[in-house]
Amino acid sequence: MTKAFADHFAPLASHYASSRPTYPPELFDWLASRCAARDCVWDCGTGTGQAAVDLSRVFAQVIATDASAAQIAEATPSARIDYRVAPAEASGLDDASVDLVVVAQALHWFDLDRFYPEARRVLKPGGVIAAWCYGVLHVGEEGGEVDRIVQHFYRDEVGPWWPAERHHVETGYRDLPFPFPLLPAPDFALSARWTPTQLLGYLRSWSATARFMAANGFDPVERLSVPLLAAWGDPAQARTVSWPLSLRVGLR
Say yes or no to pLDDT of 9 above 90: no
Q: Provide the whole-model pTM.
A: 0.87
Q: What is the mean pLDDT of the chain?
A: 92
CA distances 12 to 17, 73, 192, Å, are 9, 12, 21
What pairs with residue 241 in β-bridges?
A: 139, 192
With vertex at residue 194, the alpha carbon angle to CA 145 and CA 131, rounded to the nearest 5 degrees, is 100
Residue 153 binned pLDDT confidence (cut-offs 50, 70, 90):
very high
Helix (H) or strand (E) holding 75: none
Question: DSSP assignment of 131-182, as one string?
Answer: EEEE---EESSTTSHHHHHHHHIIIIISGGGS-TTHHHHHTTTTTS---S-B
Question: DSSP assignment of 123-144, as one string?
Answer: EEEEEEEEEEEE---EESSTTS
One-letter amino acid at 47 equals: G
Percentage with pLDDT > 90 across the chain: 88
Residue 142 binned pLDDT confidence (cut-offs 50, 70, 90):
low
Residue 140 binned pLDDT confidence (cut-offs 50, 70, 90):
confident
